[in-house]
């Protein structure tokens, strides 16, 4: 009897222990996450979080949004500096990430097994001093010109390979009584695209510009090919090509105008493709894309962007669960979520992930630039850690006609100098 009683007691204790362990296992672990409020970022993040929570029912993720642009940058920097950042946050890669002082604020992920899945191309733009801090939230992207295919067909226009051809198309569109170039300065960050997406043309003219700019030698105001990027923004304004409400229109307004044929061109990054696919699936086929043209058709090429990434701050209260989420995103399962729920806008940066056999026409327009023999180059912010934070203010001023390109270029050089000094770069 004693043996039986002991067995029963042991069994009861075991059951109690299992119940307690089960209760512990099922106790919800909550992660907090901060992302920008862009429609594509929200769509991608919500899809990834939903899929992750289904396969990890013991982890809840609470998503908080912030504004984009300079205001959002300040929120991220302030929360990191005060130790109040969420467990995971989304932010840019490249120079803006380096401005977060990642060695002091972010968790080094280089030793995590899931980092083996991340392409070396992306690791380069989220690394400082041998440490790697982020994983990509989406495929590779690019900056250029979205266009409405119906307007092009109606007016018999061809995709331009030079800036002169682009402006000639714009004049024909304007003559037909249509908005030629959509601009959305209500979201000031969008004003930068015509300048930033021109970098392939800058590099074609001055191959070592990024190196010399980082060293404090090359300047926008003293490099004609670089200053021309600001001049092109002014040309679009001075020719009267923009929508009347360009000062108040937002990014979402721009996407709507593009797909509905309310405007022919929208300078934008291809991270807009998932938002277009989600919000206007029946109209997506009306949208095309081409690289921002330069002066020579023979050197026509694309300025590429690495996507933003997810990061874990050193102050995360649950780094284990945060890393589990990161591992899910950096997997083929994460890629499938993107493909099935928010679309694909370019080549994946997770090893083993492949594009579907059929992609939207606008994605097909992008792929030749990445194919063997295609012409592309990273945006300056991925080749240099220096990116002045007031650029969007300057591009709004140039784009509204209240500041001359030469003055904007000189002001940007001064802003870049201040940031280079903060980063401790030599030569400035």
| pLDDT digits 0-9 by tens, 117-132 | 999 889 989 999 899 9
The dihedral sign for the CA sequence 307, 123, 290, 278 = negative
Q: Nearest Cα to 143, choosing from 205, 219, 69, 229?
A: 229
Q: What pLDDT sits at residue 326?
A: 98
Query: Rounded distance, CA 269 to CA 387, Å?
Result: 17
Q: What is the mean pLDDT of the chain?
A: 91
What percent of the chain is predicted at pLDDT more than 90? 76
Phi-psi region of 243 (alpha: psi -120 to 50; beta: other; left: phi over 0): beta
| pLDDT digits 0-9 by tens, 9-50 | 334 444 444 444 444 445 689 999 999 998 889 989 999 999
- Residue 373's pLDDT band, with cuts at 50, 70 and 90, is confident
| pLDDT digits 0-9 by tens, 262-321 | 999 999 999 899 889 889 999 999 999 999 999 999 999 999 998 999 999 999 999 999
Mean per-residue pLDDT for 88-113?
95
Highest mean pLDDT among 32-46, 165-179, 367-381: 165-179
For residues 272 and 255, the answer to whether their CB atoms sit within 8 Å is: yes
Mean per-residue pLDDT for 330-344?
88
Is it the case that residue 358 has pLDDT exceeding 90? no
For residues 146 and 268, the answer to whether their CB atoms sit within 8 Å is: yes
Mean per-residue pLDDT for 222-241?
98
For residues 133 and 103, the answer to whether their CB atoms sit within 8 Å is: no
Is it the case that residue 204 has pLDDT exceeding 60? yes
Q: Nearest Cα to 366, choosing from 291, 264, 268?
A: 291
Query: Rounded distance, CA 261 to CA 52, Å?
Result: 38
Q: What pLDDT sits at residue 58?
A: 96
Tokens linked to 22: 């089960």
Which is more confident, 368 or 180? 180
Q: What pLDDT sits at residue 412?
A: 98
Query: Rounded distance, CA 132 to CA 106, Å?
Result: 9
- Residue 374's pLDDT band, with cuts at 50, 70 and 90, is confident
Which is more confident, 326 or 21? 326
Whose tokens are 């040309």? That residue is: 235
HEC string of the chain?
Answer: CHHHHHHHHHHHHHHHHHHHHHHHHHCCEEEEEEEECCHHHHHHHHHHHHHHHHHCCCEEEEEEEECCHHHHHHHHHHHHHCCCCCCEEEECCCHHHHCCCHHHHECCCCCCHHHHHECHHHHHCCEECCEECEEECCCCEEEEEEEEHHHHHHHCCCCCCEHHHHHHHHHHHHHCCCCCECCCCCCHHHHHHHHHCCHHHHHHHCCCHHHHHHCCCCCCCCCHHHHHHHHHHHHHHHCCCECCCCCCCCHHHHHHHHHCCCCCEEEEECCHHHHHHHHCCCCHHHEEEEECCECCHHHCCEEEECCCEEECECCCCCHHHHHHHHHHHCCHHHHHHHHHHHCCCCCCCECCCCCCCCCCHHHHHHHHHHCCCCCEEECHHHHCCCCCCCHHHHHHHHHCCCCCHHHHHHHHHHHHHHHHHHHCCCCC
| Model confidence, pTM | 0.75
- Residue 3's pLDDT band, with cuts at 50, 70 and 90, is very low
* Helix 391-399 vs helix 69-81: crossing angle, to nearest 10: 170
Which is more confident, 98 or 209? 209
Of the listed ranges 179-193, 246-260, 360-374, the least confidently predicted one is 360-374
Which is more confident, 331 or 383? 331
């Amino acid at each position: 009897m004693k043996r039986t009683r002991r067995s029963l007691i042991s069994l009861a204790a075991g059951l109690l222990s299992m119940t307690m362990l089960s209760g512990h296992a099922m106790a919800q672990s909550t992660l907090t996450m901060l992302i920008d409020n862009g429609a594509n970022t929200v769509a991608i993040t919500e899809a990834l979080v939903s899929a992750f929570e289904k396969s990890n029912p013991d982890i809840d993720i609470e998503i908080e949004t912030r504004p984009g642009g300079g205001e959002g940058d300040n929120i991220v920097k302030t929360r990191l500096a005060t130790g109040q950042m969420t467990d995971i946050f989304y932010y840019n890669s490249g120079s803006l990430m380096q401005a977060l002082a990642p060695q002091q604020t972010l968790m080094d992920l280089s030793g995590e097994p899931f980092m083996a899945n991340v392409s070396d191309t992306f690791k380069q733009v989220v690394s400082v001093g041998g440490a790697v801090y982020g994983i990509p939230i989406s495929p590779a992207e690019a900056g250029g010109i979205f266009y409405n295919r119906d307007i092009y067909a109606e007016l018999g226009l061809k995709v331009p390979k030079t800036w002169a051809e682009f402006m000639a198309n714009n004049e024909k569109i304007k003559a037909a009584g249509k908005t030629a170039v959509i601009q959305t300065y209500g979201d000031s960050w969008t004003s930068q695209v015509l300048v930033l997406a021109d970098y392939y043309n800058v590099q074609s003219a001055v191959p070592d510009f990024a190196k010399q700019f980082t060293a404090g030698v090359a300047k926008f105001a003293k490099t004609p090919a670089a200053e021309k990027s600001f001049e092109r923004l002014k040309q679009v304004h001075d020719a009267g090509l923009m929508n009347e409400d360009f000062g108040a229109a937002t990014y979402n307004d721009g996407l709507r105008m593009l797909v509905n044929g309310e405007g022919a061109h929208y300078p934008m990054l291809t991270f807009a493709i998932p938002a277009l696919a989600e919000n206007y699936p029946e109209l997506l086929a009306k949208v095309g894309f081409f690289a921002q043209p330069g002066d020579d058709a023979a050197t026509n090429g694309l300025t590429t962007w690495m996507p933003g990434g997810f990061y874990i701050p050193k102050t995360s209260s649950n780094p284990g669960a945060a890393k589990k989420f990161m591992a899910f995103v950096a997997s083929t399962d994460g890629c499938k979520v993107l493909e099935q729920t928010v679309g694909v806008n370019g080549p994946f940066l997770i090893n083993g992930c492949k594009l579907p056999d059929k992609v939207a026409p606008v994605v097909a327009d992008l792929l030749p630039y990445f194919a063997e023999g295609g012409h592309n180059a990273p945006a300056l912010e991925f080749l240099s850690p220096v990116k002045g934070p007031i650029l969007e203010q300057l591009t709004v001023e140039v784009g509204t006609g209240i500041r001359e390109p030469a003055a904007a270029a000189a002001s940007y050089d001064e802003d870049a100098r201040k940031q280079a000094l903060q980063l401790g770069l030599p030569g400035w």
